Structure 1
């Protein structure tokens, strides 16, 4: 998840390379908006567990 202004750059850098990143999603104005945007893109058929990393620290919720 990236800020809207960094979306194009992130897609160019991350997509199409062998790794974990399969999609880039624009975040929201608040953390809760960003988490919501992320959950809207999760496939229930492919994801049993979803981790949310707090950008300001190394903790995962």
Structure 2
């Protein structure tokens, strides 16, 4: 049932899954426990990260082209 809720709501982060579990099932888990549950269900959890406005759109390509130091 949790697997279906994750897919239907297109949840990406452990924090979102934690909120859905508390809402649907009335059970509170720590964020680390949610990460473990997601791993058992073969999901990967993500952590939000900043995308800088001044970063060029091809930054990853430029990074790949730079020689390793």
User: Given the two structures, how large is their TM-score scaled by the length of structure 2?
Assistant: 0.30
Q: Who wins on radius of gyration, i.e. which is larger?
A: 2
User: Given the two structures, how large is their TM-score scaled by the length of structure 1?
Assistant: 0.33
- Considering Cα pairs closer than 8 Å and 6+ residues apart, tell me whether 1 or 2 has the greater RCO: 2
Q: Could you say which structure has the higher helix fraction?
A: 2
